[in-house]
Structure 1
Amino acid sequence: MVTPSNPDSHFHIEVIKLLLQVATSDDRVTREEIEQIIDTARGFSVPLSELTALTQCLQEGKPLPPPNVTVLRENPTAVLEAVHALIARDGHIHEAEIEMTRQIRAMLGVTP
């Protein structure tokens, strides 16, 4: 994947990477979660080539690229909003997703 020169685009791609990590945290990815990730990517205007490369990892069972935490710390509110929207989308909140959210908050330096 090519790193985009636009800082907002770079941030948005890192959010999508994180959302994919969250979606797979309970060892299954639902159709609703994929739809939410695609909706978020569209809203962020993430290039289709980037989204395709990331989702291809899921389809092929390859490890997902880790998100850049430094970039995500630039806007923790937007990150957490995207994570909460994803978790709520399928109507099933799993313990693994709750734990992942706790870890994300800690990683971003956000206190409860």
Structure 2
Amino acid sequence: MLEVPAAALRASSILAEVDFVSIGTNDLAQYTMAADRVSGEPADLLDPWQPAVPDLVVATACAGAAARKPVEVCGEWLSVTTPSSGAGRSPRRPCPHRPPHRPTGPP
């Protein structure tokens, strides 16, 4: 499970050793933004659609595509990503040029 920015940035190296990776987007957002989930004050920082978080997801997806290994998505992203959005579970889908768009309404 990739849940910290360092693991997402080094996804190519990790994928060389494993059969697949799964990205925990909620924890990835928390650690990327250095925000505490228990404290309700920085709620905006826990948003998995903060610009740095999609960048890390896309970098990991690209590493998976290059390694021809599956990259799965868990967390809040799972409820809004689709096969056409560029994030998800298929190792054969081409690497997206940009992260999927943040949803504008309820999932």
Fold similarity call, TM over 0.5: no
Higher strand fraction: Structure 1 or Structure 2? 2
The structure in which a higher percent of residues are helix is: 1
Higher relative CO (Cα under 8 Å, sequence separation at least 6) belongs to 1
